[in-house]
Amino acid sequence: MAEADEASKPLFAGLSDVSISEDIPVEGEITVPVGSPSHDDEYSTLDEPVKETILRDLKAVGKKFGHVMYPKKSTTLLRDWDLWGPLLLCVTLALMLQGGSADSKEDGGPQFAEVFVIIWFGSVIITLNSKLLGGTISFFQSLCVLGYCILPLTVAMIVCRLVLLGGTGTASFIVRFIVVVASFGWSTFASTAFLADSQPPNRKALVVYPVFLFYFVISWMILTFSPSHSDGATDTGP
């Protein structure tokens, strides 16, 4: 109202003694500065080359791997969740646990399906558990965090397989044991760093314990992986 008065002063200078009733609308024009005239303001990902799409997703996954290896209390992992990383890690781990000893089908290590089911089903159950206990984290964010924190254990699996190439004696067992315990501690610590803040304070231990059990079972599967022996008579064919 004050600006309109000032603008209209030179025009209505001589009419100051005329009473203006309340219902005269203030006329004017409000213009918004027009930006670039392009109508496609959204970033459309449909026309970009495939390599760019894949690289962008890979970079996102790689960035999250970095967050897991150096766990700080940042919300990046939670905000932009994706399940590519967990899938990649789960498949890699399950494949590497595959070449185990199997001289009798029953006594061997976990099959691919068992590892897959344990990881995904276990993550779903832990997520449900934390949500039922009153956590504020969403379902997929929790799956994302639990899946990504398997990364140290996958690295430990690779190291174990390399160590096993050198032999299966006590020394290799001790090395594998240390590596697996270290990566188990790392995984649990990383996932609780991300998950702990979203829980009510008097139930934190109730939520952390299943995570601990989950990574313990995976560590056990990695530690007890024993490669097939040549004299184990795996050849059952005629």
Partner 1 sequence: MWGSRISQGNTFVDLVDTDWKKIAMATPEDLQFQEFEEAAQLLSANPEAVTRSARDLSSAKRERERESVRVNVNLSEEEGEEEEAELLSGQKKQPNFWSFDYYQSFFNIDTLQVLDRIKGSLLPLPGKNFVKHHLRNNPDLYGPFWICATLVFTVAISGNLSTFLLKMGDPQYHYRPQFHKVSVAGVSVFCYAWLVPLALWGFLQWRSSSNPSVTSYSFLETVCVYGYSLFIYIPTSILWIIPFDWLRWLLILLAMALSGSVLVLTFWPVIRDDTKPASIATVTAILLLHALLAIGCKMYFFQTATQTMMPVPSLAPPTGNPNITLNQS
Structure tokens at 19: 């009473």
Please give the angle made by the CA atoms of 98, 100 and 105, to the nearest 5 degrees. 95
Return residues touching partner 1 (CB under 8 A).
Answer: 78-79, 81, 100-101, 103, 106-111, 114, 129, 131-134, 136-141, 198, 202-206, 209-210, 213, 216-217, 220-221, 224-226, 229, 232-233, 236, 238
In the complex with partner 1, the residue whose CB is nearer, 52 or 80, is 80
In the complex with partner 1, the residue whose CB is nearer, 55 or 125, is 125
Shortest Cβ 25–partner 1 spacing (Å): 16
In the complex with partner 1, the residue whose CB is nearer, 88 or 97, is 97
Shortest Cβ 2–partner 1 spacing (Å): 16
Shortest Cβ 34–partner 1 spacing (Å): 33
- The β-bridge partners of 227 are 100
In the complex with partner 1, the residue whose CB is nearer, 19 or 36, is 19
Shortest Cβ 213–partner 1 spacing (Å): 6
Please spell the DSSP secondary structure of 23-92, one letter per residue: TPPPP----PPP----S--S---SSS-HHHHHHHHHHHHHHHHHHHHS--S-SHHHHT--SHHHHHHHHH
Report whether 207 contacts 195 (CB < 8 A): yes
Spatial neighbors of 57 by CB under 8 A, at least 6 apart, are 82, 84
Spatial neighbors of 153 by CB under 8 A, at least 6 apart, are 93, 180, 183, 184, 187, 215, 218, 219, 222
In the complex with partner 1, the residue whose CB is nearer, 82 or 91, is 82
Please give the angle made by the CA atoms of 129, 130 and 135, to the nearest 5 degrees. 145
In the complex with partner 1, the residue whose CB is nearer, 71 or 100, is 100
Which helix (H) or strand (E) segment holds residue 188: the answer is helix 170-195
Shortest Cβ 86–partner 1 spacing (Å): 16
Shortest Cβ 128–partner 1 spacing (Å): 9
